[in-house]
Amino acid sequence: MVSYSAIEDYIRDLKRELSGVDEAIISDAIDDTEEHLGLRVQELLEEGVAKLKEDAVAKAVADFGTPSEVARAYLELNDELKGKEEKRQKKKEKRSLFCDIFCIYGDWRVYTGLIYLLLMFPLGLIYFTYMVTMISLGIGMLVTVLGIFILILFLLSNYGLSWLHSRMTEVMLGIRMPRKPRKLKAKGTWWQRIKAMFRDPRMYSSLLYMFLMFPLGIFYFTVFVTLIAASIGLMMSPFTTLLSEIMNLPIGIPSPPEARAVLLPLAVILGFLLLTWTLHLSSILAHLHGKLTRSLLLKR
């Protein structure tokens, strides 16, 4: 068994053992291992079992297991994830063209994905307002200690917001995301921890993602509200036309009475096809947005 004197060396070998595994699972494995070994090393030093940090790391690793042993449990998770994905792909391959187009109405993930995209507008607005307010307030008060405190608090809160959003992404889109909140691994003085935070690439990528949510949310909300409203309006045209005749109101599709027998069924069919295309579009955009979320919130 290889003897380790630093947790970083153990993590490097663990990454090598997990090569090719889903990035979210690797992130969880690294976070779990760093947390466990860090706490165990601290306990050994405080109890006096080990006097040097190197000796404490070696003993903690010996109790914890080799990188290959630790990786085995996460490899099983990865195989389970791959198995689920392969089953989904096989189901898609067996479907006919008709089912590929219209079975989307029976896929509940499509609806959660559509809701997810629509939620990007209010959430993006909240994040953008919070971001602009905190940054402006912090920079405006930089001449005092309070300004620095506000900026640090904002950056730390960004880790929590990113984690909450990644959990929502996994639940609604079914995309595997890290299940442990991001923690700063730096020890020492506050200044050393702050420097470590500014060296963390995930801080910048998550800030970029939170900023992008606002314009993307406006786009998603505008596109899908318009398409859904148009689809429902077309499919409801026979009822609105009938209502316009009963109440003598200018609603429904304006058309001569002799042409309605053709135009109204055609409008219903067109509305149904438009709604079907809208659901397919939402599924594609939700998948792409999930990849963007995964890319920016998983960055190490």
Residues 271, 233: contact at Cβ < 8 Å?
yes
Q: For residue 73, what pLDDT is reported?
A: 79
Q: Model confidence at 202, in pLDDT bands (50, 70, 90)?
A: confident
Give 184 or 46, the one with higher predicted confidence. 46
Give 81 or 187, the one with higher predicted confidence. 81
CB neighbourhood size of 241 (10 A): 20
Tokens of 14: 């663990």
State pLDDT tens for residues 126-175: 999 999 999 899 888 888 888 888 888 888 888 888 889 988 998 999 88
Separation between Cα atoms, residue 289 and residue 300, nearest integer Å: 19
State pLDDT tens for residues 207-254: 899 999 999 999 999 999 999 999 998 888 877 776 666 666 555 556
State pLDDT tens for residues 99-123: 778 888 888 999 999 999 999 999 9
- Residue 130's nearest CA partner among 167, 155, 165 is 155
